[in-house]
Structure 1
Amino acid sequence: MHRSRLALAAGLVLPAVLLAGGCGDPGDLRGAGSTPTAEAPTRLWPKLPPPSAPAEDYGTIESLPVKGVDVPGGDLRKVNPVAVAKADFDENPGMYSRSDTVYKQTAEQLDTCETGHADGGGEDGDGECPVLNAYYRDLTGDGKDDLIVGIRLARGHAENLDIRAYAVEKRKLTQIMEMGDAVLGVELAGHEVIVRAVSGMQGYEYRTVWSWDSHQKTMLPTTDEIVRSPNTPKRKPSRKPEPAASARPVPSTSGSPSDSPSDSR
């Protein structure tokens, strides 16, 4: 405890001691009991050989240059988000293959976008252009705004949204994040992007936190967990059994009726 906090605590305790002087409490320090001993984690199967390759992960995550788009003065707010999305989706398919139906259909929808439109297709992307409104946030920690773009994927597929983020690295437009999923919602918290996605388990959802990694120079999924969905209806409590009927009051010896508890006011 800091000295200033000790002085403040003493100033608050002294009046209380004076007020309670006749209570017979000497005010000595008392032990709070024994402290539980911290236990080190137990390692299971310590001789198990390490795997030769990951069974399943996000694949190779790396930053990618986006060609054909200039960034005046290194300010991403001066760049058209629709032009960025179209150029990047065409050059970097990301988690998709160019032969995938979802990629082809989304690319066709991107061709309907007008690059002169400043923001995109709106908050929900109900228009013809699948690019949603752009957002800006410093994700890399360099004090400059980075660009976050959402591309609504062609309908009829499991994934509904492709999320991409861009920064200026060495004066060049660079993709620092790309992922697609059945997205429930996206949030920005500090330098992080939080993505909520549908889970196959009823009442639960995936929550993935993407954070900037200075070694990889890209956003990485630093936290990936399955959590209880906040929109899940709470289970109704079971009906409590009704109390048994109380016995009828015994008449008094004087013959006058006794008052029932329900009659009292």
Structure 2
Amino acid sequence: MPHPRPTRTALALAAVALLASATAACGDAGGLRGAGATPTAVSPEKLWPDLPAASSPAFDIDEVNTEVVKGIAVPADDLHRVDPVEVVRREIAAHPGDYAGSEAPYRETADRIADCDESGPGRPPCPVLRPYYRDLTGDGRDELTLGFRQLPGDLTAVRVYTVDKHRLVQVMGWEDAVSAVELAGRSVIIRSPSEVAGYEYRLQWTWDQDQRAMLLTHDEMVRTQGRGGGRTRPPRSTSTSGASPSASVSGR
């Protein structure tokens, strides 16, 4: 015997029940909720519109600073085969005013560089820190990020090297008191303590293909979870220094 066809009323009731069930399920999963009033967007206001525009920088902050490291070969253009300690030794030799003589500010760095070959129990640690390798230029080959302690004092020098025309080229340099150094994408990020409690300096260098160098793309003071303090960042230079512990050079 065939089943009786449902009446239009029955179908309508079933549809209402189904819709109510679906609505309840959506509500359980989280529906749209109001976020409150949205602040009105305010466009930037240009100050002193009649002020003549500057045509040249007032201060030289070495925006683009590259230097060929003389006397260092790069076998097969592979920076993994370059001795980081020898790279630092070349920099020390090229800047005797900073490292040579009793009045040189970083004379102890030069004195301790010999310990990099003989570090061990009872000997001062090598001022050259562990090297890091990452492709920062996007050419498929690793660059060398190198750090070494500027002694005596509480500074760390951070350098980035690449290979250009089979030569070792420094494409970034900075020295400062350093809280942390990070590699992110094609950028080097350096964090330094501030004398303002709860804040730190955050500087970021990013590879620029046109300039063939790491450019300082961000320079800001940011909030931290802890407390800042220790020292004020010196005027901009082409290197950064920091307070990271000395360590012997190790491999990748």
| Pairwise CA distance, 1:165 | 0.8
Give the SS at the match of 1:20. Answer: helix
Match of 1:142 in 2: 139
- The change in CA–CA distance for 1:214 and 1:92 in structure 2 (over 3 A counts) is farther
2:104 to 101, 104, 117: 101
Distance in 2, matches of 1:212 and 1:232, equals 31
Q: Is the 8 A contact 1:162 1:178 kept in 2?
A: yes
Deviation of 1:163 (Å):
0.4
Partner of 2:79: 76
* CA distance in 2 between partners of 1:136 and 1:36 (Å): 45
Count of aligned residue pairs for this structure pair: 200
Matched, 1:44 2:47: yes
Q: What are the Cα deviations for residues 216-259 of structure 1, in whole angstroms up to 9, with x where unaligned? A: 211111001001123239xxxxxxxxxxxxxxxxxxxxxxxxxx
Q: Aligned pair 1:129/2:143, yes or no?
A: no
Contact in 2 for aligned 1:62/1:216 (Cα 8 Å):
no
Give structure 2 stretches of 5+ with no counterpart.
Answer: 1-14, 24-34, 229-252
Aligned mate of 2:164, from 151, 157, 169: 169
Q: Which has the higher contact order (CA 8 A, sep 6+)?
A: 2
CA 1:35–1:22: 2 relative to 1, 3 Å = same
Q: Distance in 1 between matches of 2:55 and 2:217?
A: 22
Q: What letter is aligned with 1:134?
A: P
> Cα RMSD over matched residues?
3.6
Compared CA separation, residues 21 and 150, structure 1 to 2 (3 A) = closer
| Cα distance per residue 1:38-89 (max 9 Å; x no partner) | 5432101111123465455633532110011111100101111111121134
Equivalent AA in structure 1 for residue 160 of structure 2: A
For 1:181 and 1:58, the matched residues in 2 are separated by: 15
Once the 2 structures are TM-superposed, how far is the Cα of residue 203 of structure 1 from its aligned partner? 1.8
Amino acid aligned to 2:222 = V
Per-residue CA distance 1:176-199 (angstroms, 9 max, x = gap): 111000101111111111100011
What are the Cα deviations for residues 16-55 of structure 1, in whole angstroms up to 9, with x where unaligned? 99422898xxxxxxxx9x9987543210111112346545
Tell me: CA distance 1:20–1:184, structure 2 relative to 1, closer, same or farther (3 Å).
Answer: same
Alpha-carbon distance between aligned partners in 2 of 1:48 and 1:221, rounded to the nearest angstrom = 27
The equivalent position to 1:220 in structure 2, one of 190, 215, 221, is 215
Contact persistence 1:131–1:151 (CA under 8 A): yes
Larger CA Rg, structure 1 vs 2: 1
Task: Give the TM-score, by structure 1 length.
Answer: 0.64
Aligned residue for 1:102, secondary structure, equals coil
CA distance in 1, matches of 2:21, 2:214: 62
- 2:91 is the alignment partner of 1:88: yes
Q: Normalising by the residue count of structure 2, what TM-score does the alignment of the two structures yield?
A: 0.67
Match of 2:62 in 1: 59
User: Contact 2:106–2:152 at 8 Å: present in 1 too?
Assistant: no
